[in-house]
Structure 1
Amino acid sequence: MTGQATPSAAAPTKAPGPRGSFLWGNLADFQQDAIGFLTQAVHDHGDIVRLRFGPITAHLVNRPEYAEHILAGAVGRYDKQTRSVARIRATCGDSLLSSEGPAWLRHRRLIQPVFQPRFFESLGPTIDDVIGDTLNRWQDLASRQQDIAIVSEMMRLTMTIAARILFTAEIEKDSEVIERALAVILEDTWRRIEAPVDLASISPRFHRPRFRRALQDIDRIVYRIIEQRRSGGSQHDDLLSRLLAAHQTQAEAGLSDQELRDACVTLLLAGHETTANALTWTFFLISQHPEVELKLHEEGVQFESTRNATQTQMAFSEAIRLYPSIWIIERRAMADDRIGGFAIPRGSMVLTSPYLLHRHAEFWSEPERFDPTRFTPPNIASRPRHAYLPFGIGPHKCIGEHMALTVATHIVARTLSRFQLSVVPGQTIKTLPGITLRHAGELRMKLKPIPCN
């Protein structure tokens, strides 16, 4: 089954959608409030909505079987030659995020073994060491009644863990530089996706100076990590060792200098930023639900000895249902297609939004409510498989899923065994949709140490 609706004898018709302006269509509404606009669009027009962004026609599809058709079942009909991927390429080059065909397959085969679950089985102590350093620092802040900016804290923590796991490198001192640079890169990339005309797509010289400086900052750190490993001569069982070995080979499959850089940049940035966003939303949601927090505290206290974190995993899964870091996925139709009886013309874009699909009332009861019990085995089995896709599906499913789940589980369990986190009053809780789904602002939280029994 491809997920397509059963074809009818009638010719496919044009999908309904909001009118928009004559010249730019729905672009202004999308730019003003992307999530609000798309939410209203599916409410008004159904599960397939035709949109227009200037000269670009796009279809938003919002059912599990439609998502499966586009991302997994009919991959030969859809590719990643989209505006979003083209803009991301300016930062990540031709990497797993942006390449296709033989180049993508070569990178995937090279990197995949490091992201197998067995690779992380022995990394618990490494992850816990980094978390322990952070929690000890938080203990000092709490003793002085200082709160924390949870977004920055999660960025620093996940970045440090990712660097140790993937590159056996210490980059905590670079965390502020990377966080500032990444914020500029993500903001600028999303601005160029939304812009009707992007001169930077013509030549890198047209990128804004802030973007170029941010990219230079990231490159300096990545090249330093690579050079330190080369000059150090030490051997490590990590991703960087595999990349360097592939770089040095004389075989056809060897990595070029540019590919080595692109892979490292992609995995450093993507390896921590999406997990940090997800953790931010997780701690916020838990703080609003004391009954969940109590269960997770009890489980966290036992985590060191049992390594059981079932309740924690369920809470994290529910948090990324409500706030998936990758909130929208874009593909291009390579040939005319039909979904749900509606025409999908060749060359048009197709959008799948995990954020919207995860709130579809047909598949989720009270979809706005935070309820970790949705992820008990019976509840998982009772709903369509692809009603939940925070890591995507199909060949391009996120390679770092297991790493993200492992790291997040450790962070949440260890944190809630020692602290109760609460939101500092007077803040506005607001999503910031862009390349990823961030919180709009720093989101400050208070730390209350939990006495040991």
Structure 2
Amino acid sequence: MSNRAPGPKGDFIWGMLSEFKRDALGLLSRSVAEYGDIVRLRFGPVTAHIVNHPDHIQQVMSRDAVQYDKQTRSARCIHATCGDSLLSGNRQTWQRHRRLIQPVFQPRHLGGLDAITDAQMQPMLSRWQQIAAAGGTIDVVPEMIRLVIAVSAKALFTADVDAGRIEAALSILLDDTWRRLEALIDPSMLSERFHRADFKEARAAIDDIVFAIIQQRRCDKAVPDDLLTLLLSAHEAEGETRLSDQELRDATVTLLLSGHETTANSLSWAMYLLGKFSLDNPAMVDDFFSETLRLYPSIWIVERRAIHPRNIGGYDIPQGSSVLISPYLMHRHPGFWPDADRFDPSRFAEQNGTRPRHAYIPFGLGAHRCVGLYMARAIATRVIANINERFRLIPLPGQQPQIFPGITLRHKVNFQMGVQAI
């Protein structure tokens, strides 16, 4: 006998789709609060289950991960920008890219990252000094995006890039990807020719930047020991390890865009929190960033597809249905995070480490855990420490950030903050 998980019924035809489009975080938060840790939702013809308990998350993302894949709507939408890559590739493609790229992101290979971050920060810090002296304000979101783009491009590709151009194109790509994900039916599903003009122009702009980086490297006499060199070596190799022209493009685009966008989002939230809560002890910077990621995980939701019928927590998960795991919801679960909406970096002190480890998943879990987590944390904590040492950030009236849960947990609008030199 089928044991179907509980959940809201919604509209007869579209289920909960309209409410999801109107307020995704609100719908999911209310659903787990009312129905529990496993909730069935219907979005038109699509059936999905929210899984919101550490044991069940471990089952899907680690212990039983081979029973779930990325043949999902979200992966198909992301594929339009990143192609077959770490973000959207399934099984064999993902494994090839992961094996190739992972060694570069190990901590032992990131020894020069602090120096790179400091060097890329210096122009911004000098400009902030001038703004502080003039009593001006900073626009937090673009400041963090352009900084992390510059650091990532220098660290991974030993390249200087037009951060403003990348920022503008990425904003269009992310918005259109989320629009297509929400719209169960879209002409672009039939053919890439039917993508909107602004999406195709933004993707072409990113391709131009990536191909320019690759072409410049091929003309350079010196060959730095970086990720781009590794990718080009694989592109020129023979046999199964060889990257095709398309794979080289897809891997480079993915690493240029995804690595910086998630880190920049998290840093923007960290700047907002620095303005509200003092960071008096520099030794607490890592805990400060960890708590920022708890409240504002950039990857706020992950989708998997059940390859075969499964059972989670006693409930049947039909073959082909989606399983949704939301770090945003898990990090606010009152059973594992007392006073969950309160910002409190001391949660991450060693003496408080009694909760299940899978209750905290800002970088994912299992084999698909974010390959760039060490780099992201190193950049972010270095930026927070430098800014906290030199400036006091001041929230301005009417500048409360607003959460936009799109492909990543972004800011709905940019927000200004005052800046004072210390």
Question: TM (normalized to structure 2)?
Answer: 0.98
Letter of the structure 2 residue corresponding to residue 393 of structure 1? L
Equivalent in the alignment of 2:116: 126
1:37 aligns with 2:23: no
Partner SS, residue 318 of structure 1: helix
Partner SS, residue 84 of structure 1: helix
1:336 aligns with 2:309: yes
Equivalent in the alignment of 2:143: 153
How far does residue 341 in structure 1 lie from its aligned partner after superposition? 1.1
Partners of 2:190 and 2:352 in 1: CA distance: 49
Partners of 1:326 and 1:403 in 2: CA distance: 16
Deviations 1:135-158 (A, max 9, x none): 111111222222111100000000
How far does residue 44 in structure 1 lie from its aligned partner after superposition? 1.1
1:368 aligns with 2:341: yes
1:398 aligns with 2:370: yes
- The answer to whether the 8 Å contact 1:420/1:449 transfers is yes
1:98 aligns with 2:88: yes
Partners of 1:234 and 1:424 in 2: CA distance: 48
Equivalent in the alignment of 1:294: 280
Partners of 2:136 and 2:275 in 1: CA distance: 17
How far does residue 12 in structure 1 lie from its aligned partner after superposition? 4.8
Equivalent in the alignment of 1:204: 192
> Which of 314, 325, 328 does residue 352 from structure 1 map onto?
325
**Which stretch of structure 1 is more off in the superposition, 360-369 or 96-105?**
96-105
Partner SS, residue 94 of structure 1: coil
Equivalent in the alignment of 1:425: 397
Letter of the structure 2 residue corresponding to residue 67 of structure 1? I
Partners of 2:300 and 2:372 in 1: CA distance: 16
Partners of 2:85 and 2:142 in 1: CA distance: 26
How far does residue 109 in structure 1 lie from its aligned partner after superposition? 1.0
- The answer to whether the 8 Å contact 1:423/1:443 transfers is no
Partners of 1:186 and 1:31 in 2: CA distance: 16
Partner SS, residue 294 of structure 1: coil
Number of residue pairs matched? 422
> Which of 383, 386, 407 does residue 411 from structure 1 map onto?
383
Partner SS, residue 331 of structure 1: strand
Partner SS, residue 338 of structure 2: coil
- The answer to whether the 8 Å contact 2:113/2:379 transfers is no
1:379 aligns with 2:369: no
Partners of 1:110 and 1:84 in 2: CA distance: 24
Deviations 1:28-50 (A, max 9, x none): 00000000110011111111110
Letter of the structure 2 residue corresponding to residue 371 of structure 1? D
User: Kindly, what percent of the aligned residue pairs are identical?
Assistant: 51
Deviations 1:15-40 (A, max 9, x none): 11111001100000000000011001
Equivalent in the alignment of 2:288: 315
Equivalent in the alignment of 1:304: none
Superposition map of 1:47-196 within 5 A: 47-171=37-161, 174-196=162-184
Letter of the structure 2 residue corresponding to residue 115 of structure 1? F
Partner SS, residue 312 of structure 1: helix
How far does residue 376 in structure 1 lie from its aligned partner after superposition? 0.9
1:240 aligns with 2:228: yes
1:249 aligns with 2:222: no
- The answer to whether the 8 Å contact 2:69/2:305 transfers is yes
Partner SS, residue 280 of structure 2: helix
How far does residue 62 in structure 1 lie from its aligned partner after superposition? 0.6
Deviations 1:406-440 (A, max 9, x none): 00011000111000011221124210000000111
How far does residue 131 in structure 1 lie from its aligned partner after superposition? 1.4
Ranges in structure 2 where 5+ consecutive residues have no aligned partner: none
Equivalent in the alignment of 1:388: 360
Letter of the structure 2 residue corresponding to residue 128 of structure 1? D
For the aligned residues, what is the CA RMSD? 1.0
Partner SS, residue 420 of structure 1: strand
Equivalent in the alignment of 1:16: 6
How far does residue 201 in structure 1 lie from its aligned partner after superposition? 1.8
